[in-house]
Structure 1
């Protein structure tokens, strides 16, 4: 098994592409879902967030008010770093658990849906399209939308660092075809073999150890 990091800028259409991979039966670890899970009341990250940002970031039922907290951290980089320091360790733990589950199920690759993969490979959508989608989706002003986009790396920088690029600036049908073709290439890849072979070698070593122990200990029983 190998890992495929799926990322993109705000409102670049990443969620729509992810649905295509899910429809194809791919193993997906959604970091946004995990991030919402680890800050629920009763979890360590929830308590630490309240301690750091105050009760004003809470809804009446005790859940984190994501809009209020989001407004705070996007305008203040130091507070964004503080939130990351609280939540990222808990998110990584859950990511490892889910990834290991898929490894045991025999998947060739696992998609890690990580919006800030390069800040912490890439869907292409031009800046104007990003801003328009974000303003429509979240009801933001142009100023607020620009502030959120600027909090991430520019898309052109992410494209340069990516191994595979899905151009999501055209018709949806074209984007979907790109995602399907990428899935076919990933399924044919042999990148999963090194890990599988190393695990098999490890299991063979453990089996040999138990055999030797049984061989020398059983006669004395």
Structure 2
């Protein structure tokens, strides 16, 4: 069984919400896991910090919860990784039991580039739930399904974020919920885009960047 990576408790961990997201924009999805004990399960770890696992080029994951500053011994349940302040960096919110929600803002300065996409469909549901997005750079193709909800008392919010590493642009394509395959479009990195059914991607500038 997996055991906590810090805190000195050698009993097995208890995992709740898990979410993949590229927190350092290197083009590889990383993994966050919300952790927390259950009162009626004394045989499991009481001190059970959340995990943040960075994916390396060889597809192995390395724990960085302690060095990233998101380690917490609160009893976590739900969580969300998303770019809450629209600066191109993935932030974190965690819902805890018997404690306030905790939010961590990503202030890293050595990240790769990114694109963020919001889909709108006129032939199925508004948010194109069930669509697939493909993002292609010289490093390869990222493929992601558009979903709603997922995990434990958690979900998705806002724009769909893709880290691009050193790429200055990317090609994107949407396979819509009605199985229509859109064309490939080349877009610049470092921007937010609205992608509507049957239309080319349109850049969107967050109010904080407008000036």
Q: TM-score, normalised by structure 1?
A: 0.26
If asked which structure has higher relative contact order (CA below 8 Å, sep 6+), I would say 1
- More helix per residue: 1 or 2? 1
- More strand per residue: 1 or 2? 2
Query: Which of 1 and 2 has greater Rg?
Result: 1
Q: TM-score, normalised by structure 2?
A: 0.27
